[in-house]
Amino acid sequence: MPGSGHLAFPAQARAASQQLSDGELAELAEENRKLRSLLEADAGRLPADQVDALRRQYDDIRALAAANGLAMDPLAPADGEEVEASGGSTHHSSSSSSSSSINAASGSHASGIAAPPAQVVGSSPAVTAAKQQQWKQQAAAAAAALGAAASQAPAAAAEEADHWVDERGRGGGDYADRMAPQLGAQEKAARAAREAKLRSDAAALVASHDPAEVAAERHHWLVFTVPEVPVAGSDVVVYFNKPQSSCLQWASQLRLQVGFNKWKLGGEKLPLAPAPVPHVDGSDFWSVKVAVPEEAYEINMVFGDDFGSYDNNQGQDFTFATEGGWSFEEWIDGAADRAAKAEEEERAAREAAAREAAAAAKAAALQRDDQEARAAVEELKSGCASYRDGALDQRKVEANGATALLWTTSPAPLVAGAKGRLLYNTRAGPLAWLDPAQGHAAPTLTYGFNNWKTLGGDPIVMVPAQVEEAAEGELWWEAAFDVPATAAALSFCVNSGDCWDNNNGADHKALVAWPAEFEAAEDPVAAWADSLLQQLRDAARTRREAFESAAAAKEAKRQAERVQLREQAMAVLRRQLKHVLFTEPEVPRAGEKVTVYYSPASTALAGREQIYITAGFNRWGHLRRLGPAAMKPPGEGGLHHRATFMVPRDAHVLDVVLSDVEGGEGTYDNRGGLDYHIPIEGGVGAKPHPLHVVHIAVEMAPIAK
């Protein structure tokens, strides 16, 4: 969103407090993450004295971080240790913080640490140069201890059947697809009690606080909240100091666009109202109450007016960490369930919409069928006289100086809606030369009705007929057919090979009578035509349904061919990549483990003894990322490094990049900038948007060459 703004901390406090830079705080958090990962994954395989040293190192870094306003969770107690305060629970939300912050970056949400804030609200002890040097020494010692511990890990660990990797670099087991720690019954109860107390205290504070009192020392602040750290599952009051915003200081109305968890949860626009706070030093506070969902690990805010102006913290949005609710890790763990629920809701909505659309389409189609039938009735009424013009029930011609019967019908005349026959005497017309004894082809009848507006069936090969009172020398043939209920006249011609009898180009026309019950009507044609309305409706519907069925079958065939072609293309791609990278199973499935095998021999990483894998999902759009993590090197005579990990249930594509470093400067194999993308089957939720590739060629005009 366009706009600019200020960070939510007082300028005076910022000037008076010397703090570590954001980069140093981030580096501190990273060392904390590495130590915690080592202690969680390998403590059981390390010597006890080394574990104690690493725990002391972790506590020293945690204390230094707290002095700079960065909250880190304590380690889970070792055997025989007391559980650190907070009701006996060792689990803390990684998004909780001891101080409110506006976090411009996405932050680090690894288990056990709080995201390092871009700036910290409030004051903290000044950090001396000596303390900074002490921290650097501690960080170096932590890195050395980490390397030493890794080198002393039992060699048997490298020989395990599955080389698991996860967000912390190594993992595996029953909860390899989970980021959040698994809590026992007592830990869950303690956490629930703690969260209930937090929400109760937050509700009491929201209801009882004095706006003027809480704003007394904040008249130069841009934004703050009550409580200072919002509590998930409770309300929070947001205070916005309008004159401190260069974008909105003159706005007459203010609105808050609020969402949660990087705008992935909730979202609504709320009006702010002037707060009962004195205007000290030109301050003008506006406020609004916001309900924070239990699943929120952070609140995202943008302030604006009704005319398109926004204050979005210089493009980074205002972000407040919460406590008492879900952690970032728990939010990621629940992504698949949310995706499955959203997919089910979308499917149900889509099916309901499809049913409504189908019902509306069917009603519209039936209406068109009715209109088509009524038009046919009116056309029959108006065209009946034209159809019958010149129609006969038999035809006589002059042949060899005598009158001969050329053709007749049975019955004579034909009756609409009944069966009929045409009897044709070849010796009386242009086909007089036809002699079956000489092997000539039998005559063929081509026919239609109502001046050919209604076509008959396929041409009928006529058969010899027995005609009573046939004159000597006549040769009669017959053809049987159904007369449509809408027929007023039969149009036909007869041929044998290339010789045709079409009445000198005018075609023959035989009379068709309507059923006898309409003869007594005042207007027999109208009565007869009106009686055909339902039959014509049914005929129109039958034709339409046959067309729709054929179109659906054609589309189904086309889709099946597309799926087959896509599968063939992916099979070709897998074969092309197999000498470099392949998976087991060949097509990974969501919610199951997959092993990635990688041979660097023909890549930029050829000759590297250690390969690191960085993996993501859904074209890197999934919240869950893996690594960079060391892959298990190939055994003697082997070619492929390997790593095993769980595929999230809402994954549709596996994304992989390989490197010879765990991060930073090094050599990477990203398939020439395209990355390795492997389709996954069985994923829930929306699929990532497909990658569309457009090839463009440009040629200069000859005169410009």
Q: What is the distance between the alpha carbons of residues 695 and 697, in angstroms, rounded to a whole number? A: 7
| Domains contained in the chain, CATH given | 1-152+189-333 (2.60.40.10), 389-531 (2.60.40), 578-679 (2.60.40)
77: left (phi over 0), alpha (psi -120 to 50) or beta: beta
Strand partners, 445: 460, 494
Q: What is the distance between the alpha carbons of residues 443 and 683, in angstroms, rounded to a whole number? A: 66
Structure tokens at 634: 């190939």
Q: What is the distance between the alpha carbons of residues 320 and 292, in angstroms, rounded to a whole number? A: 11
Q: What is the mean pLDDT of residues 504-514?
A: 94
The pLDDT assigned to 460 comes to 96
Q: What is the mean pLDDT of residues 609-638?
A: 88
**Which is higher by pLDDT, 320 or 136?**
320
> Looking at the predicted structure, is the pLDDT value of residue 303 above 90?
yes
Q: How confident is the model at residue 697 (pLDDT cuts 50, 70, 90)?
A: confident
The pLDDT assigned to 705 comes to 56
The pLDDT assigned to 173 comes to 44
> Looking at the predicted structure, is the pLDDT value of residue 24 above 80?
no
The pLDDT assigned to 458 comes to 93
> Looking at the predicted structure, is the pLDDT value of residue 105 above 70?
no
- Over pLDDT 70: what percentage of the chain? 79
The pLDDT assigned to 373 comes to 94
Structure tokens at 229: 């750290």
Q: What is the distance between the alpha carbons of residues 590 and 612, in angstroms, rounded to a whole number? A: 23
> Looking at the predicted structure, is the pLDDT value of residue 18 above 70?
no
> Looking at the predicted structure, is the pLDDT value of residue 152 above 70?
no
| Identity of the highest mean pLDDT range in 176-185, 339-348, 354-363, 646-655 | 354-363
Q: How confident is the model at residue 513 (pLDDT cuts 50, 70, 90)?
A: very high
DSSP state of 193: H
Residue found by looking up tokens 């916001």 in the block: 290
C-alpha distances in Å from residue 254, one per residue of 148, 268, 309: 57, 14, 10
Q: How confident is the model at residue 410 (pLDDT cuts 50, 70, 90)?
A: very high
Q: How confident is the model at residue 528 (pLDDT cuts 50, 70, 90)?
A: very high
- Single pTM value for the model: 0.54
> Looking at the predicted structure, is the pLDDT value of residue 331 above 60?
yes
The pLDDT assigned to 169 comes to 42
The pLDDT assigned to 114 comes to 32
The pLDDT assigned to 259 comes to 95
DSSP state of 647: P
Residues 677-690: tens digit of each pLDDT: 999 998 888 788 77
> Please, are residues 659 and 639 in contact by the beta-carbon 8 Å criterion?
no
Asked which of 101-115, 250-264, 412-426, 532-546 is least confident by mean pLDDT, the reply is: 101-115
> Please, are residues 656 and 678 in contact by the beta-carbon 8 Å criterion?
yes
| DSSP assignments along 31-87, one per residue | HHHHHHHHHHHHGGGS-HHHHHHHHHHHHHHHHHHHHTT--BPPPPPPTTPPPPSST
Residues 31-75: tens digit of each pLDDT: 677 777 777 766 665 666 667 777 777 777 777 777 776 777 777
The pLDDT assigned to 343 comes to 84
> Looking at the predicted structure, is the pLDDT value of residue 449 above 50?
yes
Q: What is the distance between the alpha carbons of residues 311 and 259, in angstroms, rounded to a whole number? A: 15
The pLDDT assigned to 140 comes to 55
Residues 200-224: tens digit of each pLDDT: 999 999 999 999 999 999 999 999 9
**Which is higher by pLDDT, 508 or 21?**
508
Q: In 122-235, which ranges are continuous DSSP H helix?
A: 129-152, 185-208, 211-214
**Which is higher by pLDDT, 128 or 324?**
324
